[in-house]
Structure 1
Amino acid sequence: MARRAWLAATLVAAMALTGCTQVVSGQGRAERPDVTKVAGLEITTGESGAKPGVPDADLQVENGDGGEMDRLAINTLADVEEYWSEQLPARLGKEFEPVKRLVSYDSNGEGVEICRTNTAGVANAFYCSLDDSIAWDRGELLPMLDDAFGPMSVVTVLAHEMGHAIQYKLGAEGGVTQATPSIIKEQQADCYAGNFFRWVAEGKSKHFRISTGPGLNQVLATMFFIRDAAGTSAEKQGAHGSAFDRVAAFQFGFHGDPKRCSQIDEAEIKARITQQKFDADDQDTGLGKGNLKVDDQRSLELLEESLRNAYKQSGATPPAFTDSSAECPDASATSPASYCPATNSIAIDMTELVKIGTPPKRGQKGGIGDFAAFAEIASRFALSIQKATGYALEGPAAGLRTACLTGAWAGTTTQSGATLRLSSGDLDEAVAELLADKSLIAADVNGTVVPSGFARVEAFRDGFFEGSGLCTRKYSA
């Protein structure tokens, strides 16, 4: 059977935030979560960023200008150091020693020699073990992150870099040596950043606060932005991970403690990393390699076949696909696809579907990509399975169950013989769409979206790795 593939769009030019040095598989849990919480914390929607009225930290920084970005970086590193001074001895049995050098520079100005590198033109932030330093670009990188995602994106990046410092200080005790592949180091550092953000969310940070709703959504959006480009092999030196994989590592840290992060090793990476190179069969339809035209009739036929196969063991009668806009007596219309329980049908708004499924061209606004569009339809198909098997179709539990079942469908597309198969970057499209305010992937039958992007992504990942059985057990009510 001919193989067809999907490709994730590059929404923005990703910047690799690399460390200059030389980081239990991510399986879903069967216990039922409280759908009103995020990793056990209440879902909050308050302000995220710097706490008002708190004096700036007093850390010695080389080459700083005393401006807003440097103050943000210094306050971040002061709080991150406070976190690790508590947690490193308590969790990993080692005293924390602050990094020896903090260096600010402007990539648009005169270069500074750091880590045997001149920083002129280097829009980056990094940790270097050669002199135990953390450096950041106050001229381009930090302002760009702040403008795009808010100040907590800068905190995310610097917490990640401190994660590399923790690796260096732990050495082999933390499972990292000079020979450790970069993907392991980067996943560990993302996980360590998640540890720190849990501490912030619990209100323990002196300088920062974060809401577990919109605030964490922005942090996860930052993880998406700094992902590896589609088609990058996880085995490549310097690989950081796809958005799907980076978000997973961050979430492991947010749920767990530093010991969990230090346990990320080669065996775990091989078991759960989804990042892959493009396959030789990935096609270019004019929208980018492997990207299908979502309004192509054959594409929709293959999608419908894929969905029927994914859920056939449920015994449910599959819904009919239609382009009808007829009113539904027992559910509200949603875009780009609506499920009507009364008629067991899915109405597709092709114009809106194409908008989501058309990746943007460089420097232009656009949608996300074909997988994001098809996942919207898959979520409505998942509702029909829930109706047939007796589950409620309204409320946050239905939204998370829908995200999980959509992830379970995505997992079946990795199997041999599937007519539609995941292409490199497709799961990153899922992350992008799941973090969208009106994403149907984690919405109930009326389009009410689960308020926490963190919970949406986690539910999707549960289904992808564990299958539909976990979805109905874990998100049953």
Structure 2
Amino acid sequence: MGGSLGRALVVTFSVLAVLLTSACAFPVDGRAIPSREVTVGADPSFISGTNGSEEDRLAAATMRDLEGFWGREFPSLAGGRAFAPLAGYFSVDPQGRGERPVPCLPNPQEIEGTAFYCPRSDVIAWDRTNLLPQLRREFGDAAVVVVLSHEFGHSVQGRLDQDGALAAAPTILLEAQADCYAGVFLRRVRDGALPDLRTGATGIDGAMGALITFRDPVGTSPRNADAHGNAFDRVSSFQDGFDGDPAACASMGRERVFTQQSFRSPADESSGGNLGVEELIRAMVPDLDRWFGDEVRRRGGQWTAPGAERGDPTCPGTDGDVQGPVAWCGGEGGPSAVRIETGGTLAADHARIGDFSTGTLLASRYGSAALAALGRPTTGPEGGRAALCLAGAYSAAVGTGDSAFGLSPGDLDESVTLLLGEDTASRGTDGVAAAATGYERIRVFRAGVTGGADACLRGV
């Protein structure tokens, strides 16, 4: 149960194996979302080893609000039992001399780059000199809050576990539940319902950016004893908590579905699951035509496959490439076509994030074509939202039925990274984005993944 976040930012696998109380993930190449929206300033004197730094003052505010929040919420989950305070908190300089000993951690250097909850001693410890400052620089203050609230979530699990069931629970499920508890807490921070902490939408996106950085290495089996989940699974758990309540997190069980998977072939593993831009387009376009055509015809519409054209993504009658590097042009002044600018930002994201960043854009534009074929709006927030949702529905269906195209283990993570960082996949054909935040864009995409095309066409 002693899962941890943070080590992925600064250490390698050889060091990762040192802490038996920790199991962390490797980073993805994401886009930093800096935000200093969290109030800092609580007295950290109750934290063992503190040096009074701004990072420890933020940690102190977080712990104080976590104690108050779970003191109020825990009894309703535990049949009226009160929440027992943790035995302690430890702020550690891994290179410092004379550091106070940390339970479960005989050598302070072993905490470098990480935060963890130790169930044997019921304490939370963190690296204040490397981890917390880097989280703040890369993702903002809310990143520290999500890391520490995740670790606090493990203490909640232990207090609820009166029959010892945790010992047999899969690690990936325990980590998902802790992510969910963190989401519940961050929602209260966002809502201004806590004494010390405040954040807004940008802070929540920063917290999610930090969370997806701590995904498992691509290709990790969900049955791995140290599995924490891929980026899509971790964000899903966080959003389930953010949009839900503590009871929803506590009720998570073995029936929970995870998208994380192992590589299916040595060739897929050797490529990291990524195709080049042109190779991806050639492989994916026939499958997009098949799936979206079937969905349109199933609903009584007429489907004509749009052409897949390389070049300028500007549609006739529009002022520039308002849809981004991939655009669906609906036939005004020419045939229906998906126009793809294979260089520029598309090529950069393809290389930086992975091939399904391009795949997500392609799927959303075929979603626009399908909406038009069904007489649905393709413009404005409504059109962008439905197209993005349909991209999620398509992504969930890839590799099933008659599909000749399959997703690789990291592809949904690449969708999440793209959506957190930019709005192009959520734009209507007039360039109006469906959502201003990464949180909302990912939520819409997830609605398609979990609910299919029917959910998208009912409205999300």
For the structure 1 residues 67 and 217, does the alpha-carbon distance in structure 2 shift closer, same or farther, using more than 3 Å as the test?
same
Q: 2:135 aligns with which of 142, 145, 157?
A: 145
Pair 1:240 & 2:228 matched? yes
Deviation at 1:323, TM superposition (A): 2.0
- Aligned with 1:135: secondary structure? strand
Equivalent pair of 2:426/2:441 in contact (CA under 8 Å): yes
Aligned length: 422
Taking structure 1 as the reference length, the TM-score comes to 0.82
Equivalent pair of 1:108/1:121 in contact (CA under 8 Å): no
Q: 1:418 aligns with which of 380, 386, 403?
A: 403
Deviation at 1:447, TM superposition (A): 3.0
For the structure 1 residues 242 and 324, does the alpha-carbon distance in structure 2 shift closer, same or farther, using more than 3 Å as the test?
closer
Tell me what 2:70 maps to.
84
Q: Which protein has greater RCO, CA pairs closer than 8 Å, 6+ apart?
A: 1
Unmatched 5+ stretches in structure 2: 1-7, 24-34, 298-302
Q: 1:261 aligns with which of 227, 238, 249?
A: 249
For the structure 1 residues 326 and 83, does the alpha-carbon distance in structure 2 shift closer, same or farther, using more than 3 Å as the test?
closer
Tell me what 2:341 maps to.
349
For the structure 1 residues 280 and 76, does the alpha-carbon distance in structure 2 shift closer, same or farther, using more than 3 Å as the test?
same
Q: For 1:78-227, what aligned pairs fall within 5 Å after superposition?
A: 78-93=64-79, 94-110=81-97, 112-122=101-111, 123-172=113-162, 176-212=165-201, 214-227=202-215
Deviations 1:321-375 (A, max 9, x none): 11243853344523311111223211111113322211xxxxxxxx211111121
Letter in 2 for 1:310: W
Equivalent pair of 2:229/2:260 in contact (CA under 8 Å): yes
Equivalent pair of 1:92/1:258 in contact (CA under 8 Å): no
Deviation at 1:446, TM superposition (A): 2.9
Deviation at 1:406, TM superposition (A): 0.3
Equivalent pair of 1:48/1:211 in contact (CA under 8 Å): no
Taking structure 2 as the reference length, the TM-score comes to 0.85
Q: 1:444 aligns with which of 398, 422, 428?
A: 428
Equivalent pair of 1:245/1:273 in contact (CA under 8 Å): yes
Tell me what 1:317 maps to.
304
Measure, in 2, the Cα distance between the counterparts of 1:345 and 1:373: 16
Q: For 1:353-432, what aligned pairs fall within 5 Å after superposition?
A: 353-358=346-351, 367-415=352-400, 418-432=403-417
Tell me what 1:36 maps to.
none
Deviation at 1:65, TM superposition (A): 1.1
Deviations 1:202-254 (A, max 9, x none): 21122221113x22211111111111111111111221111100010011111
Measure, in 1, the Cα distance between the counterparts of 2:206 and 2:92: 25
Pick which of 373-382 and 443-452 moved more. Answer: 443-452
Tell me what 1:73 maps to.
59
Measure, in 1, the Cα distance between the counterparts of 2:144 and 2:167: 27
Measure, in 1, the Cα distance between the counterparts of 2:220 and 2:45: 38
Deviation at 1:281, TM superposition (A): 5.3
RMSD value, Cα? 2.6
Matched-pair identity in %? 32
